[in-house]
Amino acid sequence: MALTVVWMRHGKSSWDQPVTDERRELAPRGQANATAAGELLVSRGIAFDLVIHSPAERARQTWQYVSEAGVSAAEVREEVGLYEGDAEAIVRIVADAAAGTTLVIGHEPTIGEAVELSATREATKAWAAFDIKYPTSAMATVEAASADDLVAGTGRLVDFVVPR
């Protein structure tokens, strides 16, 4: 089964409150950028079979704003491995889910590393943009022929966008 994975970094978080890292919420800019990401996905007609997000509050809220912008998902899952795991484990989580179209909302550096592990590097605009920086709310779309191809790193990075 062909897979499309949108690897998204959570929206910009706030540092205004003295809370643990896991409890940090989105800053107003993060809320706006997550909404813009959702609007972009809707404009492209993208709906998800599965959304997997980190248990960190800023990742939960990123999905909240993306979904409030009109993005739909058949299933939404919170996965501690997206907060505590390494990139290889995250790619395996996504591959094991074997959903056709998946949105993964996590953190840097592991989201960027997961893109690099799941896709073959090519001389494309998407890779050039990816190499500059993976800022908050950025989304990298990787297509793979199968879950095995995703794990083997033979997917294709077809898009990298920073919604603002």
| Element at 162 (helix H, strand E) | none
SS3 117: helix
Total-model pTM: 0.95
The average pLDDT across 48-52 equals: 98
Neighbours of 123 (CB within 10 A): 6
Residue 154 has pLDDT above 80, yes or no: yes
Domain containing 54 — which CATH number?
Answer: 3.40.50.1240
In sequence order, the β-bridge partners of residue 155 are: 119
Question: What integer pLDDT is reported at residue 115 of this predicted model?
Answer: 98
**Region 30-57 average pLDDT:** 97
The average pLDDT across 10-32 equals 85
Phi, psi at residue 23, to the nearest 5°? Answer: -95, -5
Question: Please, which residues bridge with residue 48 across strands?
Answer: 73
Q: Which range, 24-28, 79-83, 143-147, has the best average confidence (pLDDT)?
A: 143-147
Classified as helix, coil or strand, 20 is: coil
- pLDDT band at residue 18 using 50, 70 and 90 as cut-offs: confident
- Tell me what pLDDT residue 14 has: 81
Q: What's the CA dihedral at 42, 138, 31, 40 to 10 degrees?
A: -20
Q: CA-CA distances (angstroms) from residue 151 to 52, 66, 94, 142, 158?
A: 17, 27, 9, 12, 17
Note if the bond before 18 is cis, omega within 30 degrees.
no
* Residue 56 amino acid letter: A
The number of distinct structural domains making up the chain is 1
State the residue range of the domain holding 26.
Answer: 3-142+149-161
